Amino acid sequence: MSKTSDTIIAAAKTLRDAVNAMSFSDPTAYVYNPLDYAWSAHERYLKLYATGKKRVLMLGMNPGPFGMAQTGVPFGEINAVTDFLNINAKNATIGKPPVEHPKRIVEGFACEKSEVSGRRLWGLFAEQYQSPKAFFKEHFITNYCPLVFMEASSRNRTPDKLPVTEASPLFEVCDAFLRTLVEQLKPKYVIGVGAFAEKRAMQTLADYSDITFGRILHPSPASPLANKDWPGTATRQLQELGIWE
């Protein structure tokens, strides 16, 4: 294991414990912390891939219910995690959140639902780079916030919808982790997957004058634009930013 991944793993543990101590009020009814119950898989992701300098750091918003909530890996669509990233039931264990919504059960690698965002994102990178070694040589992907928020109906609630009294302490610890990540990986580019992540990155890392910020279209099926040709749009955006040729 590299010194870089050691430092990042320690910072992720600090983030995990800090958000575990937080409480959230209605309409947030359920909170899942995959850094806790899926720590084994998340730690393996960091050990394998957060190993040295990266040219590009990509930042998502927070876990999806059928992605990282199941696998502990950012944008962690099941097949992408097990087949492309080599994180599976043989080398990682997934537990359970303390309280589960009956419509959002954590089944880990046995989950049969596919997260479209993760399928699109990792699908593009697998197509472009063929192997995780080739992709992670210059790239790394993380989420800004590690928590999943749900309303009583099971509706997803994103961090940008939290009241300031809840968002401020949460964002403070998320900012601290992001800064550690940047200090360790030393990226030239920090790219938000969607507008929220780009905004948080620009605010958190405002004093890093050598970083170029940008964003790509979020691959969520809730976005009409993403449903037209997300891989083509994201590729074009990365080319325009000077990241891909």
Write the pLDDT tens digit of every residue in 107-160. Answer: 999 999 999 999 999 999 999 999 999 999 999 999 999 999 999 999 999 999
What global pTM score does this model have? 0.96
**Rounded-to-integer distance, Cα 105 and Cα 62, Å:** 18
**To 5 degrees, how large is the angle CA 105–CA 178–CA 80?**
45
Q: Quick check: 244 and 136 in contact, CB under 8 A? A: no
Mean pLDDT to the nearest integer, 15-44: 98
Q: Is the pLDDT of residue 54 over 80?
A: yes
Q: Quick check: 177 and 15 in contact, CB under 8 A? A: yes
Superfamily of domain 3-238 in CATH is: Uracil-DNA glycosylase-like domain (3.40.470.10)
Mean pLDDT to the nearest integer, 157-173: 97
pLDDT at position 177, please?
98
pLDDT at position 138, please?
97
Write the pLDDT tens digit of every residue in 67-122. Answer: 999 999 999 999 999 999 999 999 999 999 999 999 999 999 999 999 999 999 99
Element (H, E) at 56: strand 56-60
**Rounded-to-integer distance, Cα 167 and Cα 170, Å:** 5
pLDDT at position 134, please?
97
**Rounded-to-integer distance, Cα 93 and Cα 147, Å:** 19
In which residue are the tokens 């030393």 written? 186
Write the pLDDT tens digit of every residue in 178-236. Answer: 999 999 999 999 999 999 999 999 999 999 999 999 999 999 998 999 999 999 999 99
pLDDT at position 2, please?
83
Q: How confident is the model at residue 161 (pLDDT cuts 50, 70, 90)?
A: very high
pLDDT at position 1, please?
61
